[in-house]
Every structure is written in C-alpha cells, then in structure tokens.
Amino acid sequence: MTAPSHRPATKLRARRRVMTAVLGAGAALALAACTGVTYAQTPVPTPPTTTASSPKPATPPTCTNATQTFDPLPSIPASSAITDRKTRDIIERGHLIVGVSADSYLLGARNPFTGAIEGFDIDMAKAMAQSLLGDGNKVQLRVITAADRLPLLEDGSVDMVARNMTMTCDRWEKINFSAEYYHSGQKVLVTRSSKAQTLEDLDGKRVCAPVDTTTLAKLASVKGPIPVTASNHTGCLVLFQQGKADAITGDDTVLAGLAAQDPYAKVTKAPAITDEPYGLGFNKKDVYLTKYASTLLDELKSDGTWKKIYDKWFAGPLGPTRPPS
C-alpha cells in the first residue's frame, strides 16, 4: 500500500506562517505610524564619560619672578628628626657634595699658599654643612665650570651648587633655587688707561665673557662690542692680559676679583647694567633640601653671619651692603 502523502498539510502550515508574518509586520507598521517612531533611527545609548573622575593635570604656573622660591621650613630641624630621603642620604654619607668655582677670586678660588679653595661661595657651602652635619668641614668641594652647573645638578652628581649662579625662569625649569643669597650686577673691566665705562663705549672692541652664562647673553644683545668667549672668567683674564681681549664683562663680584689680580685692570664706575640675584642650586626633586637651605639663609641674614662673611670678602673692593631680602 502506498504511504499517504503529507504535502497538503505541509503547504497549509506554510501559508499560516506567511499570514502570521504579514499580520505581525502590519501591526508593527501600524504602531510605527501611530507613534511616529522610526525604529531604524533609534540612537544607540552611549556609555557615560569619565571626565569628572579623570581630570586633566593643571598647567604649571608661569615663572614671572625668578627669586620667588618655596616657602622655608618653620625652623632648622634636628638632623635626627629629618625624614626626607635625599637629606638623610647626605647625613648618613657624612659629607655634603657641592659644586664650586676654584678660579673666581673672592667667590671661590684656590689659595696658592695653602691649596684650599676659599671665598664667599665656599663659606656659604660650609655654613650648609655646619648646619646639616654639625661640621663646616664635612663638605666635598667639586670644582666645576659655569657650563657644568645645571647638568651636574640634573644628574645628581652634586647635592648643591654654590657658584655665583643667577636665578632665572629658564633655569627654574631644570633645577631648584634657594632664596637669594647675594645680589650682584653685570659691569665691565677695562685697562686703567681706557676711557670706556659701558659696553656701548666698546664699539668694535673685543669683550670677553664665559660660555653658557647670562653675562654672555647680555653681551651678545648689545650692538657694537665683539664677543670673545672662554670657559671661565680666569680664561677671559688670560686673553685680556695677552691682548686678545680689550675688556671683560661679568658680575661685579667676579670682576672685583680679577682686578685684584691685575694691577693694570679696573672695574668701571658705571652702574650695573643687569640685576643678578644669586641662588644656591639643587636638583628639581630635592624640594625639602631647597627649603632647608632657604631656612638657613634666613638665619644667616638675621643673626649677622651673612654680613660677617660678606665683609670678609667684599667689603674692601665693593663697599658695605645689606643682605638680600
């Protein structure tokens, strides 16, 4: 017997599915027409933003006053109470490493009779060692050039620089400065027979200044003089004495030391052409040590120690002065 055929039932079920789909689609279209909604254009929800929980870092303030530094500590703490890691490393090491000059007479220069490096900046370094370590002789003086100052602070080769370094906003981007410890100004050194007083008077003359200094930058900005460079001011003095430079420009403190070494040289009486605030230099990360130095300077100025150090080195050639505020 032939098996019954199921095709008619299958066709019926198929027609019912088609009718259901048509009716369903019609209902959906009718609902869309009633509500005015177009489903294909329904926006996909977006995840909430995280701006509030992840704010952008604040832009660092612009430097407008190079002598403005960190607030000092309330007072000089006992060494045993200091917890700052960098400062503790110095205390545990037993000596302070300071970058200095050894050829800037009156500021930092080697005494030909004793071999010791001495001067105003050296006494500043010793005062820091005395305060931090209880002994002013617990300081390792590392002789550096002006060009060495920033790189050696940045790579941590020295703890501090005491080398007549002018505080500037550009330098603040790379290192820290203590409070101002001396206020100098750029002047000119010439031969005793010269009538020149200012850089402008040296039109067509060779004027020496050390490389990588604010002194050289100022010299280059003046029309007339021909800049000549050396690695330091002692090098400029050699060129001056050899007749390869007609004049030297630099801070009055430096020029006073050069004039004291050359009886045929003089520092002109013209007013300083720049303001040169000196600061003790520190690595950018060493904020606590910077604050410590500023606190110490405040004490040296208030108890008369700063004036004693100044009078010892500069009162003779430069006359009396007050400590910088």
Region 75-101 average pLDDT: 97
Cα distance between residue 30 and residue 173, in whole Å: 70
Of 2-6, 23-27, 51-55, 112-116, which one has max mean pLDDT? 112-116
**β pairing state of 247-251 and 206-210:** parallel
Task: Read off φ and ψ for residue 212, nearest 5 degrees.
Answer: 55, 40
Cα distance between residue 200 and residue 118, in whole Å: 34
> Comparing 60-64, 67-71, 196-200, 297-301, which segment has the lowest mean pLDDT?
60-64
Region 278-303 average pLDDT: 98
Q: What is the percentage of the chain residues whose pLDDT exceeds 70?
A: 81
pLDDT of residue 14 exceeding 60, the answer is no
Region 209-215 average pLDDT: 90
pLDDT of residue 75 exceeding 50, the answer is yes
Cα distances from 191 to residues 208, 232, 263, in angstroms, run 13, 19, 9
Q: What is the percentage of the chain residues whose pLDDT exceeds 90?
A: 71
Region 301-310 average pLDDT: 97
Region 61-82 average pLDDT: 92
pLDDT at res. 317: 79
Cα distance between residue 56 and residue 159, in whole Å: 33
Q: Scanning the structure block, which residue is given the tokens 């020149």?
A: 196
Region 164-183 average pLDDT: 96
> Comparing 20-29, 151-160, 297-306, which segment has the lowest mean pLDDT?
20-29
Q: What is the pLDDT of residues 214-234, one digit of tens each?
A: 899 999 999 999 999 999 888
pLDDT at res. 212: 85
| Residue 93: strand, helix, or coil | helix
pLDDT of residue 180 exceeding 50, the answer is yes
> Comparing 115-119, 148-152, 287-291, 314-318, which segment has the lowest mean pLDDT?
314-318
pLDDT of residue 96 exceeding 90, the answer is yes
Closest CA to 201 of 275, 269, 265, 274: 269
| pLDDT, averaged across the chain | 85
**β pairing state of 108-110 and 117-118:** antiparallel
pLDDT at res. 133: 98
- The band of 105, judged by pLDDT with boundaries at 50, 70 and 90, is very high
Q: What is the pLDDT of residues 25-71, one digit of tens each?
A: 444 433 343 334 333 343 434 444 433 433 443 444 578 899 999 99
- The band of 242, judged by pLDDT with boundaries at 50, 70 and 90, is very high
pLDDT at res. 61: 55
Cα distance between residue 8 and residue 292, in whole Å: 101
pLDDT at res. 269: 87
